[in-house]
Amino acid sequence: MLNFVLKRTWHALLVMLLMSMLVFVGVYAIGNPIDILINPQADQALREATIARYGLDKPLWEQYLRFLGNAIQGDFGVSFVYNVPALSLIFTYLPATLELAVVAMVMTIVIGVPLGIYAGYRPDSAFSKLIMSGSVMAFSVPGFWMGLMLMLVFSVELGWFSSGGRGETVSIFGVEWSVFTWDGLQHLLLPALNLALFRLALIVRLTRAGVREAIMSDYVKFARAKGVPPLRILVRHVLRNIMIPLTTVLGMEFGAMVAFSVVTETIFSWPGAGKLVIDSIRTLDQPVVVSYLLLVAAMFVLINFVVDVMYSLLDPRINLGSRK
Amino acid sequence: MSTQTMKPQAPERDSYIRQVWRSYRRSWVACIALAMLVIAVLMAIFAPWVTPQNPFDQATLDLMDSRLPPGTVGSGGYVHVLGTDADGRDLYSAIVYGMRLSLSIGLISGVLALIVGALIGLLAGYFGGRIESVLMRIVDLQLSFPPLMLALILVAILGQGQFQVIVALVAAQYAYFARTVHGVTLAERQKEYIEAANAIPLPTRKIMFSHLLPNVTPPLIVVATVQIASSIVLEATLSFLGVGLPVTEPSLGGLIYNGFEYMQSGRYWMSVYPGITLVILMLAINLVGDHLRDVLNPRLSK
């Protein structure tokens, strides 16, 4: 176990290093920062002074090392647009994104797993067929289009939910939350549903497939023959076995949700990190783009790591030490 | 599209086409999907002949015509069946041209990703060893990131434009092809015909491209239909975010983005019609792909 953790930590660091190189070279070397930093009307002396001040006259590897050194200390430069440190700017926007992703995740699990179980237990019932065709629809319809339609139907036409912004927030431990106020909840539900729908479809299908496989298995047949109550079979035998693939997928999908929140936040004007990064890409605010990308990459690496460890905790048969 | 892509596999060509046809005849849903796709492709190819206006030509646009509701007669003297957008484009023409753009970008990046991915998968699967572990580790790493994220990173780096978007889509998607081809190649490499080819010995290049490649093609086509659909969606998403194709020549995603700000004020048509077109296109490609999958790869069928 320890061996595995050490090895994976080493891999994770390597991946982060690679990502930082890619992003640095990409954003700073290909997109020319001089044009953004310096006023085109500036004279030659001012140009050179600015280039020297930002170290842009040094060779690329030296610039990269400097960037890396600063990045390790949490300094990703100052946002060109907001004029505050990029990382702290992202951290002020990040709670809104995480709140959205967590609520969407809870929706996915609370709605998706029971529907999947039902569809697995009664595959031929009309309701199960409805669930399954619904999930096919949710797969085929592009996520951003689904978001637009949700907004058009439920907020513009029916006026059931508000759209745009977070609504009223309440401050808990210095972080603003929408989920604890009625108004905030009204603003939160549609974007969260938009974010959740695709994963919901995925989870329904996975759960259904898992349940179908599990109820055919010998151990469930045996438990049934033994007279174990159905609910107990469901919880102790069926659910336990489908937990493993579900955890993996949910773990990975949480990352995908944070990534996709870029789209949802744009549609619903949700003031989160995703909207911030899209605006920053458009305004060429490179420090913000770089720190967001590296932060998200770090999150993915961490999620993969946690999922692998969770795997072994949920299923003692998996021996992490013996993996290559 | 289905029949064209399958022509290269000479030995089994007839039976495949017949199987595909039989599979389609059984289901009217699939027939409709195929018909829709064919119509969409034909409309895209012959766009100038089936539309009253070239929406990408700024000179023909008249701002007086902007934001007309569906069914209004504009300054051009013809009826705007689906209304006009904020720049005065006839929405029907813009949708056909946008579809042309979306389809061609999806197809080009899908095919490029297929070529790159297949090459990497073949190399890794055939040679094994260090090449395999390096290549496949990169592929696995990439697969753990959502493609939208990768495409966004690349667009952030490269900037906007058709070429940049295609590069981003290829880079975000080749990994799926590489993984598939790698898996199949590993299985095929064990078989006698490769052993025999090795024993002759045929040159490596010949074994890889004349012997291995035809045998990994069926699963590759299955992945390709899925990936072409998803690269169209990905491009639409990027354009919708305003970081994809330039707004002066909007794809379907770009049209939805252009109309988005008018959604709240009741001018729904500017976003809704391009969106419906996109959804129909996606459904058609996915349904056609589903049937292709049943025929080409019985293992994957539900």
The string of DSSP letters for A183-224 reads HHHHHHHHHHHHHHHHHHHHHHHHHHHHHHHHHHSHHHHHHH
Neighbours of B140 (CB within 10 A): 13
pLDDT at B301: 39
What is the residue type of A30? I
What is the residue type of A50? T
pLDDT at A322: 46
CA distances from A210 to A213, A237, A253, B278 (A): 5, 12, 18, 32
Residues 202-261 of B with CB under 8 A from A: 233, 236-237, 240-243, 253, 256, 260
Percent of residues in chain A assigned helix, strand, coil, to nearest 5:
75, 0, 20
User: CB A148 to CB B256 under 8 A?
Assistant: yes
Task: Name chain A contacts of B260, Cβ cutoff 8 Å.
Answer: 148, 267
Work out the mean pLDDT of chain A and round it to a whole number.
80
pLDDT at B300: 44
Write down the pTM of the prediction. Answer: 0.80
Residues A240-246: what's their mean pLDDT? 81
- Highest average pLDDT, of A4-13, A270-279, B4-13, comes from A270-279
Q: Is B264 on the interface with A (CB under 8 A)?
A: yes
Closest CA–CA distance from residue B15 to any residue of chain A (Å): 30
CA distances from B204 to B68, B120, B121, B244 (A): 62, 15, 15, 40
Residue A246, pLDDT above cutoff 90: no
Q: Is A289 on the interface with B (CB under 8 A)?
A: yes
Q: B22-28: long-range contacts (C-beta < 8 A, 24 or more apart)?
A: B23/B291, B23/B294, B23/B295, B24/B291, B27/B291
Residue A291, pLDDT above cutoff 90: no
Residues A217-227: what's their mean pLDDT? 86
Residue A49, pLDDT above cutoff 60: yes
Sign of CA dihedral B266, B267, B271, B277: positive
Q: Is B36 on the interface with A (CB under 8 A)?
A: no
The closest alpha carbon to A211, from A236, A242, A233, belongs to: A242
Kindly report the length of chain A.
Answer: 324
User: CB A148 to CB B263 under 8 A?
Assistant: yes
Compute the distance between CA of residue A198 and CA of residue A303 in angstroms, rounded to an integer.
19
Main-chain dihedrals φ then ψ at residue B216, nearest 5 degrees = -95, 0
User: CB A281 to CB B152 under 8 A?
Assistant: yes
Q: Which residue of B has its CA nearest to A302?
A: B144
User: CB B144 to CB A304 under 8 A?
Assistant: yes
Kindly report the length of chain B.
Answer: 302
pLDDT at B3: 47
Phi-psi region of A170 (alpha: psi -120 to 50; beta: other; left: phi over 0): beta
pLDDT at B24: 73
User: CB A141 to CB B282 under 8 A?
Assistant: yes
The closest alpha carbon to A37, from A54, A16, A17, belongs to: A54
Q: What is the token pair recorded at B15? A: 């039976």
CB–CB of B122/B219 below 8 Å? Answer: no
Tell me which residue in A30, A149, A255 faces B157 most closely, judged by beta carbons: A30
Q: Is A255 on the interface with B (CB under 8 A)?
A: yes
User: CB B275 to CB A145 under 8 A?
Assistant: yes
Residues 58-77 of B with CB under 8 A from A: none
CA distances from A211 to A106, A247, A264 (A): 20, 15, 31
User: CB A263 to CB B240 under 8 A?
Assistant: yes
Closest CA–CA distance from residue B201 to any residue of chain A (Å): 33
pLDDT tens, chain B, 302 aa long: 444 444 454 445 556 677 777 777 777 778 888 888 899 889 888 878 877 777 777 777 766 667 677 777 777 667 777 777 777 778 888 888 889 999 999 999 999 999 999 999 988 888 888 888 888 888 887 887 788 888 887 887 777 788 888 998 998 889 989 988 888 888 888 888 888 888 888 888 888 888 888 888 877 887 888 888 888 989 988 888 888 887 777 888 888 888 887 877 777 787 888 888 898 898 888 888 877 776 775 554 33
pLDDT at A175: 66
Burial of B76 (0-12, 13-18, 19+ CB in 10 A): middle
Compute the distance between CA of residue A139 and CA of residue B159 in angstroms, rounded to an integer.
29
Rounded to 5°, angle at Cα A95 from A92 and A99:
160
Kindly report which listed range (A24-33, A76-85, B19-28) carries the lowest average pLDDT score. Answer: A24-33
Q: What is the token pair recorded at B278? A: 């996109």
Q: Is A15 on the interface with B (CB under 8 A)?
A: yes
Compute the distance between CA of residue A71 and CA of residue A65 in angstroms, rounded to an integer.
10
User: CB A152 to CB B268 under 8 A?
Assistant: yes
Q: What is the token pair recorded at A125? A: 């019932």
Compute the distance between CA of residue B127 and CA of residue B203 in angstroms, rounded to an integer.
13
Neighbours of A11 (CB within 10 A): 15
Q: Is B262 on the interface with A (CB under 8 A)?
A: no
Task: Name chain B contacts of A256, Cβ cutoff 8 Å.
Answer: 146
Compute the distance between CA of residue B118 and CA of residue B99 in angstroms, rounded to an integer.
27
User: CB B148 to CB A149 under 8 A?
Assistant: no
Confidence of residue A111 (pLDDT cuts 50, 70, 90): very high
pLDDT at B297: 59
CA distances from A305 to A9, A292, A309, A310 (A): 8, 20, 6, 9
Compute the distance between CA of residue B144 and CA of residue B179 in angstroms, rounded to an integer.
12
Closest CA–CA distance from residue A260 to any residue of chain B (Å): 7
Q: Is A304 on the interface with B (CB under 8 A)?
A: yes
How many helices (H) and strands (E) in chain B?
A: 13, 2
CB–CB of B290/B222 below 8 Å? Answer: no
Tell me which residue in A142, A256, A304 faces B237 most closely, judged by beta carbons: A142
Q: What is the DSSP string of B141-209?
A: HHHTS-HHHHHHHHHHHH-SSHHHHHHHHHHHHHHHHHHHHHHHHHHHHTSHHHHHHHHTTPPHHHIII
> How many A×B Cβ pairs under 8 Å?
90
Tell me which residue in A23, A141, A289 faces B279 most closely, judged by beta carbons: A141
pLDDT at B1: 43
Compute the distance between CA of residue B107 and CA of residue A294 in angstroms, rounded to an integer.
31
Tell me which residue in B156, B236, B266 faces A281 most closely, judged by beta carbons: B156
pLDDT at A21: 83
Q: Is B148 on the interface with A (CB under 8 A)?
A: yes
